[in-house]
A and B are shown apart, each in its own frame.
Chain A
Amino acid sequence: MEMGMERWLLFASTLFALIAAAQGTITVYRGQRSRLTLAWMILVICLQSAFLTLRGELRQACPLADFGEVLAYLAWSLTLFYLLVGPTYRISLLGVFTAPVVVIFQAMALIPGVMDADPQAIAGTDPWGETHSATSVLSYGAFALAAIAGVMFLILDKQLKAHQLKSGLFKNLPPVRELIFSLTRLLWIGNLLLTIGIIAGMLMPKPDGLNSHVWAAIAVWLAYLVLLAVKMIRGMTGRQLSRIAVLLFILSLGVFALM
């Protein structure tokens, strides 16, 4: 089967994300800080953006018409949030943890049959529908990065508790408190974006009532809102917050099954 130009771009971006993950892992294993991850990830987002642009031109709409496009858009959103949050708040290793997740999402998108080989233009696009899809998937990027920060916290917490302080990973992981702050901040950003997505979803023309995936998105939104409210009002340990953030993200991916 012949690959279109846009699929080559996605393939190249996946390859660079893989290089970022491998090079980052090796550097961390040696006890050093990976300085190239950021550069690799900038390259990754450039290629992802080129892929989405070409795909959008073919669709003549926001490229979220099949599961492969959703996965690619989710990977783009995750990379974008990493580039906004990681270097700004100096959260070392966030890129090294993000890159493999980008590889997984994009590799799934590249599996033959997951993405339309011959994407057709979408007739009669609705701006509310486009806003709903774009902001909702964007919010999943923030939730994905929050889950990644959660995994990083759980690893660091385990090492600190067990007094296992010799690994390169321990030395390079950001402090506990910064991980909790970043995780919470990302959950708020994700929830805010999902709020916009849901409002846009409600404003979409809906001859048969709300779609099942909009209902699912509302359930996800509510779950994250409860988590944030409990964290803010009652408080919770970093471990509980991280575990729930990881679990909720995995469960919330089920929304895409309803598309």
Chain B
Amino acid sequence: MELVCLGLNHKTASIDVRERFAVGPNKLGEASSKLVNESGADEGLVISTCNRTEFYLAGENGKALITQLEAHLQEHIDSNDPQDHFYRKQGEDAARHICRVASGMDSMMLGETEIFGQVKQAYQAALGAGATKGVLNKLFQTAFRVGKKVRSETNIQTGSTSVASVAVELAEKIFGHLKNSRVIVIGAGQTSRQTAQALMSRGASTVFVTNRSFERANELADEMGGKAVKFDEWQSVLAGVDVVISATSSPHSVVMPFHVEAVRSVRKYRPLFFIDIAVPRDIDPAVGEIEEVYLYDIDTLEDLANEAREKRQLHLQECEAIIDAELNKQKLPGT
């Protein structure tokens, strides 16, 4: 019995290629059954996330299984595209690969935890559809055990690795829990939206959105369950918020020290956290000199996120050692 894996991910294929092979979460079981039937394998399993689609097969002849599968996938491949976007792994390489995937070591954001749940969901769907047996069952059980071990015994998932998560971590350092915290988003860009959503997911109670286009502000406010504020009225909201996220495309500063000075006494000098994601900066640096204000711009937030990413890289060797030890101990069938 041989184990093989054929797949593509964010490193080998762009999104327009990846989306041609994507399988919805509700169709994973069906796709795994179809994989077994069409490839002639004894067992099959499909994993599909926004960053990867992978096919795991177990059968008598690994190379033949891959050839068979590639033939079936031809219909999704653009004949004008000369590039081969797939990676092919056999035996222990395939086993090592799924362990790395489940541990978040092959993810775009190194050490992220969402992938573990996605792999588990794919496995349960295939198991439910009767597409897995002894080889893949043992392989995936091992991968889950390795994933848990890697996360509990190394620091692969510590630190905030995105601007949004760094901002949330800082907000929690200032306010503790974010329950009842109020946020205003000035400018409805992608990063400001992500940051506001991250704050909301951690308990922020209210989000105000203001934008030069009130329609756009309304859209974003609706999306986040917040309130839209006209652009010339955002200062009136400042007195009641704890966090200000600014990301306009204005060539000049939008928030000036006098805006904050005007509301200090009404706020009773409570801490105020400014996150400036715009380039050029929206918030005059002098705002950060006001005693109760903590001001962070995009460069600082990016530096912090990069640093956390670099730290995670340092833990990769430890993670690989855990995988080696587990694979040596298990002697998985098909490897």
Residue positions of A touching B, CB distance < 8 A: 156, 160-161, 163, 165-166, 170, 174-178, 180, 234-240
Contact = CB atoms under 8 A, between A and B. Distances in A.
A180 B271 CA distance: 10
A234 B265 contact: yes
A236 B172 CA distance: 21
16 contacts: A156-B173, A160-B174, A163-B296, A165-B304, A166-B307, A174-B176, A175-B175, A176-B173, A176-B175, A176-B271, A177-B271, A178-B176, A234-B265, A234-B268, A235-B267, A237-B269
B333 interface: no
SS of B interface (majority) = mixed
B300 A163 contact: yes
B292 interface: yes
Nearest to B292: A237
Nearest to A171: B173
A156 B174 CA distance: 9
Q: Which 6 A-B pairs have the closest CB atoms?
A: A235-B268, A175-B176, A237-B291, A237-B269, A237-B292, A235-B269
B268 A238 contact: no
B148 interface: no
Contact of B294 (A161, A174, A234): A161
Given A161-B294, A163-B300, A235 B265 contact: yes
Contact of B288 (A161, A166, A240): A161
B173 A175 contact: yes
Contacts of A176: 173-175, 271
Interface in B125-179: 170, 172-176
A46 B263 CA distance: 49
A161 B271 CA distance: 12
Given A163-B296, A176-B173, 4 more contacts: A165-B304, A176-B175, A177-B174, A237-B292
A243 to B, nearest CB: 11
Interface string B264-279: 0101111100000000
SS of A interface (majority) = helix
Given A234-B265, A235-B270, A177 B291 contact: no
B172 to A, nearest CB: 7
Nearest to B267: A235
Given A163-B296, A175-B173, A177-B174, A238 B271 contact: yes
Nearest to A233: B268
B251 to A, nearest CB: 25
Contacts of A160: 170, 173-174, 294
A78 to B, nearest CB: 24
Nearest to B288: A161
A177 B170 CA distance: 12
A234 B267 CA distance: 10
A160 B173 CA distance: 9
B175 A177 contact: yes
A92 to B, nearest CB: 12
A234 B307 CA distance: 41
Contacts of B294: 160-161
Nearest to B266: A235
Contacts of B175: 175-177
